Amino acid sequence: MNVRAATRARIVASVVVLASLPALTGASAADRDSGVRLDFIGEQELPNAMAFQGTTVGGLSAISYDARTGSYYVISDDRSQTGPARFYTVRLDFADSRLSGVELTGTQPLLRPDGTTYPPTSTATGAVAPDPEGIAVDPRDGSLAWTSEGERIVPADGPAVLGDPWIRRATTTGEYTGQLPLPPQLHMNSQSTGPRRNQTLEGVTFTPDGRQIVTAMEDPLYQDGDDPTPAHGALTRLTVHDARTGLPTAQYAYPLEPLFATPPDGSTDTNGVSDLVALGHDRFLVLERASIFSANNWKARIFLVDLHGATDVLGRDSLADGPVQPVRKTLVTDLSDIAGLPRVDNIEGITLGPRLPDGRRTVVLVSDDNFASREVTQFIALAAHGI
């Protein structure tokens, strides 16, 4: 069987597996009582195309809280187009247990191993800029891990432009300090196997003890089946790495929700994981974000996820290659249902912040405005019971 035929066979088998899983069809893959409650405690927006320290603020795709300093790290998904690939530091004000202010305090470029900034993608030079999507603070020493979705441009004629996704380590001033190895299935390929463009390593988090780094693929690998549609969900992958060695140690199937509505223009919008944050004891809050882009219609949902009892699929080429028990997930909140929240935009980042005086743990979200005037950069604060 040739490569393309084999790939088609795997995809057909994946679709059969998805169709046989009731949790992936219909309205929701999640249980309804997580035991976690979130109270809305404020929203702040930054001006569109805000200038800050020689950069244009936008594309904020992930957020991570450093409990040692009280600062937040926020990464931009700018592919070195409006400025170098970079992250920002932010202070949030929780006066009277409400989010009352957002202050950008600094920005740093992410640097290549040779200490230079990343140039834009260029077919002339062969340069492939990163697509920064996830950032996480190491609770042990305050250093950073960040992810790039890589690049996959496969023209009908001419050479393909391929750049692997990655998980890199960096200092708080952006210097490169290492890269984690990926499972082989996550490398880019010009054939219809491996990750899809713009649907790879979207989220990253450290476990609270700092011993593990966990990443989330936004959507399925080609061989794992189709993207979510209004008719069905899909399976994507969460990968656990040893933070000391960097090696992947386990991987789990994550069941994505169906797309929440049918796009009016027939486009192929979808739903995917945009970020996650570890709670400890193999539990996470996972943020799923879906869009009907032509209508500027967004949906964001937060799920409580538990890895216990899930099948370890590390090394499995396709999730259709055998029985799979996905991770358990329970809906915590649909942001569309939160009273008082003025709008739900392209929410892409989630982190745990400090505890409020009454003991509730803050949960902070950030949106990616895609550097577009019709979208906004917003910080949303919630207060959690039960974590």
Q: What is the pLDDT of residues 18-46, one digit of tens each?
A: 433 434 544 466 766 789 999 999 999 99
Q: How far apart are alpha carbons 129 and 149 in whole angstroms?
A: 10
Averaged over 87-103, what is the pLDDT? 98
CA distances from 71 to 78, 142, 277 (A): 22, 11, 16
**Residue 248: CB partners within 8 Å, gap ≥ 6?**
180, 181, 182, 183, 239, 240, 241, 314
pTM (two decimals)? 0.92
The pLDDT > 70 percentage for the chain reads: 92
Averaged over 152-178, what is the pLDDT? 95
CA distances from 233 to 38, 91, 175, 358 (A): 25, 37, 39, 38
For position 159, what pLDDT does the model report?
Answer: 87
For position 124, what pLDDT does the model report?
Answer: 80
For position 33, what pLDDT does the model report?
Answer: 78
Half-sphere exposure of 13 (CA within 13 A, CB side): 15
Give the CA dihedral 187, 107, 144, 328, nearest 10 degrees.
-70
Q: How far apart are alpha carbons 28 and 256 in whole angstroms?
A: 9
Averaged over 131-150, what is the pLDDT? 98
Give the CA dihedral 143, 89, 182, 256, nearest 10 degrees.
130
Q: Indicate if the pLDDT at residue 14 is higher than 50.
A: no
R_g (Cα) of the chain, nearest Å: 20
For position 294, what pLDDT does the model report?
Answer: 79
Q: Indicate if the pLDDT at residue 311 is higher than 50.
A: yes
- Nearest to 108, CA basis, from 61, 46, 170: 170
Averaged over 112-139, what is the pLDDT? 94
**Residue 261: CB partners within 8 Å, gap ≥ 6?**
230, 292, 297
Q: Indicate if the pLDDT at residue 3 is higher than 80.
A: no
For position 181, what pLDDT does the model report?
Answer: 98
For position 265, what pLDDT does the model report?
Answer: 85
The predicted-structure confidence for 234-254, as pLDDT tens digits, reads as follows 999 999 999 999 999 999 999
For position 136, what pLDDT does the model report?
Answer: 98
CA distances from 315 to 222, 239, 256, 324, 348 (A): 16, 11, 21, 13, 28
Q: Indicate if the pLDDT at residue 260 is higher than 50.
A: yes
Q: How far apart are alpha carbons 73 and 71 in whole angstroms?
A: 7
Residue 343 and residue 45 in contact, taking contact as beta carbons nearer than 8 Å: no
pLDDT-based confidence at 296, cuts 50/70/90? confident
Map tokens 């409400």 to a residue.
98
Work out the mean pLDDT of the chain and round it to a whole number: 92
For position 176, what pLDDT does the model report?
Answer: 98
- CA quadruple 269, 155, 121, 372: dihedral positive or negative? negative
For position 267, what pLDDT does the model report?
Answer: 84
Residue 267 and residue 238 in contact, taking contact as beta carbons nearer than 8 Å: no
From 16-20, 64-68, 116-120, 293-297, the region with the lowest mean pLDDT: 16-20
φ, ψ dihedrals at 82, nearest 5°: -85, -15
Q: Indicate if the pLDDT at residue 9 is higher than 70.
A: no
Q: Indicate if the pLDDT at residue 4 is higher than 80.
A: no
Q: How far apart are alpha carbons 348 and 59 in whole angstroms?
A: 9
Averaged over 129-137, what is the pLDDT? 98
For position 378, what pLDDT does the model report?
Answer: 98
For position 31, what pLDDT does the model report?
Answer: 66
For position 125, what pLDDT does the model report?
Answer: 83
For position 20, what pLDDT does the model report?
Answer: 37
Displacement of CA 359 from its chain's centroid (Å): 28
